[in-house]
Amino acid sequence: MQNREIARLLAEVADLMEIGAEDGFRIRSYRNAASVIEGYPESIADIVRNPERKVTDVPGIGKGIAAILKDVVERGTFDKRDQMLEKYPPSALELLKIQGLGPKSIALLFEHHQVGSIDDLERLCKEQKLRDMPRMGAKLEEKVLRSIAQYRQRAGRFLLSFGQRTAAELIDYLKQTPGLEKVEAAGSLRRGRDTVGDLDLLATGPGAETALDRFTTHARVHEVLGRGANKASVRFGLEGLQVDLRALPNESYGAALQYFTGSKEHNVNLRGRALKMGLTLNEYGLVRLEDGVRVAGETEEGIYEALGMPWIPPELRENCGEIEAALEGRLPKLLQLSDMRGDLHMHTTATDGRGTLEEMVEAAQALGYEYIAITDHSKALAMSNGLDETRSVAFAKHVRELNGKGLGIRILSGLECDIKRDGSMDLAEDALAELDIVVGSVHSFMNMETVEMTDRLLRAVESPNLRILGHPTGRILLNREGYPFDFEGVASAAVRRGVCLEINASPERLDLSAAMVRTAKALGARFAISTDSHHPRSLRVNMPFGVLTARRGWLQASDVLNTLPVNELMQAIRKP
């Protein structure tokens, strides 16, 4: 069992215990253990099984959790979990994912109405029964109904980062099949969508059919959904992500890659174009209608070429004008990861980061960056030990001294300054003026009405020291919608004020979304792609997600602030 799966079991039981209003101390110890295990570099199951090791040597794992881990490794569950699942159905966990309902409310609903599923909850709201419950009201019914609709939309989808990890694991495994020539992922994963529904793997070579058997017998396959002569579908891992694998002949591999990469809308448009040229396009190839001769199919490039256009990068294949642009020779020269020369949003141990300033600098140097901005939180985030004016000014001075030492990388003193409820900055402007760069972000009071939130952000971009609007919508993928505001209005104000919009590269955020990036670009916006790292390794891990999102938004290197060489960057962010 993988660390991630063990962590999930613990976290789920903690959630159920929360619904059961059990001892907070114990709940916290489960959650802490889950977070330690999830981030632990070695396999916890291996340590538990190894008689020469003690799992209690892992920091944060005590005797109680160690006993649970032994149970989990031996039988896939543990006593407390069995107990909790007797008391509450597993579907109760789903209820926790509905925004607006905390564990206390769920416990109440369970007690009074035996609500065990989302459907039950929906019915209760529609029958207006929530309003009779303690501390609930008609407004909550509305909110819960909205949250349920949103939940259903995202249910069954997974973060791109999770899809990529799973695909990489399976591809590594399948590659060991003798005679397999190629295996790669198509579908939304290849297009770089922020979430994926399922994985679409393609394989070719004489070993491709053997690979199907290897696939369906993988140790983490929970269910084989189907197995045909050249296709198999499975549910993979505890999360139950569906994965399809297709075995293909070499001569139609390119056609299949094109077809299964999608998007569906892109393919429909492309097929229409083919028909006008007297050609038919499907997953087997591109064929001339009059005489049935195959004109392309082995490679994707060959297909696009035969249709009179250059190869279109998968990130653009959403039928948003890319085919027309390709035909007219005006596809953008998309941003690449290697264009990135620095990172402008990260945290350290001074607030809620896990790496010291030195460790972050080292990680950035390993990436060959010219500069990084350290942007810890400001004082409004008291729980994260955010910086006040005094600490912030001292930090700016410290960074000036560090840069005097010739580190080979420029450190920018920065701050992720909270945007307060009224749109003013959390720290006084004269303190902010001491810093090289200020990222302004909303972290609180996200439930404002559209007009108020718009005013708040419009005021924020007027701050003379603000350079970047951080994670502009506040969304958390598969979890929380962004707050509502007039995006075009705020983006236009940002353009006028020379404030960049962040593409937050954390795979849970990807905020702005690709669609918003494209809208803002049309308004003349400039962007910063930043990892929001809370750990040194995130500098490397997150950036590709930000770049993918930018590419999906049609961005070129010139649209992005942190592709600039250090001198030009310092010019671009200088004080008026």
> Do strands 231-236 and 221-227 pair parallel, antiparallel, or not at all (unpaired)?
antiparallel
Q: Which uninterrupted H or E stretch holds 110?
A: helix 103-113
Buried b (16+ CB within 10 A) or exposed e, 375-394: bbbbbbbeebebbebebbbe
Buried b (16+ CB within 10 A) or exposed e, 418-457: bbbeebbbbbeeebbebbbbbbbbbbeeeebeeebbbbbb
Tell me which stretch binds ligand DGT (CB under 6 A): 186-194, 250-258, 472-480, 554-562: 186-194
Fill in the DSSP letter of residue 246.
E
By beta-carbon proximity to Ca ion, the closer residue of 244 and 508 is: 244
Q: Give residues 374-393 in contact with ligand DGT (rule: CB under 6 A).
A: none
Give the side-chain half-sphere CA count within 13 A for 406. 0
By beta-carbon proximity to Zn ion, the closer residue of 258 and 533 is: 533
| x/- letters, 215..254, toward Ca ion (CB under 5 A) | -----------------------------x----------
Q: Give residues 195-254 in contact with ligand DGT (rule: CB under 6 A).
A: 196-198, 200
Tell me the closest approach of the beta carbon of residue 311 to ligand DGT, in angstroms: 17
**What angle (nearest 5°) sits at the alpha carbon of residue 500, between those of residues 322 and 451?**
95
> Do strands 158-159 and 195-196 pair parallel, antiparallel, or not at all (unpaired)?
antiparallel
Tell me which stretch binds ligand DGT (CB under 6 A): 142-150, 263-271, 300-308, 434-442: 263-271
> Do strands 158-159 and 198-204 pair parallel, antiparallel, or not at all (unpaired)?
unpaired
Tell me which stretch binds ligand DGT (CB under 6 A): 27-35, 262-270, 411-419, 467-475: 262-270
By beta-carbon proximity to Ca ion, the closer residue of 198 and 343 is: 198
Q: How is residue 569 written in tokens?
A: 């960057």
For 288, other C-beta atoms within 10 Å of its C-beta total: 14
Q: Is 506 in the site for Zn ion (CB under 5 A)?
A: no
Distance CA 280, CA 288 (A): 6
**What angle (nearest 5°) sits at the alpha carbon of residue 159, between those of residues 419 and 4?**
105
| x/- letters, 176..215, toward Ca ion (CB under 5 A) | -----------xx---------x-x---------------
By beta-carbon proximity to ligand DGT, the closer residue of 281 and 402 is: 281
| x/- letters, 435..474, toward Zn ion (CB under 5 A) | ------x---------------------------------
By beta-carbon proximity to ligand DGT, the closer residue of 193 and 391 is: 193
By beta-carbon proximity to ligand DGT, the closer residue of 250 and 263 is: 263
Which chain residues interact with ligand DGT by CB under 6 A? 187-188, 193, 196-198, 200, 259-260, 262-264, 267-268
Which chain residues interact with Zn ion by CB under 5 A? 441
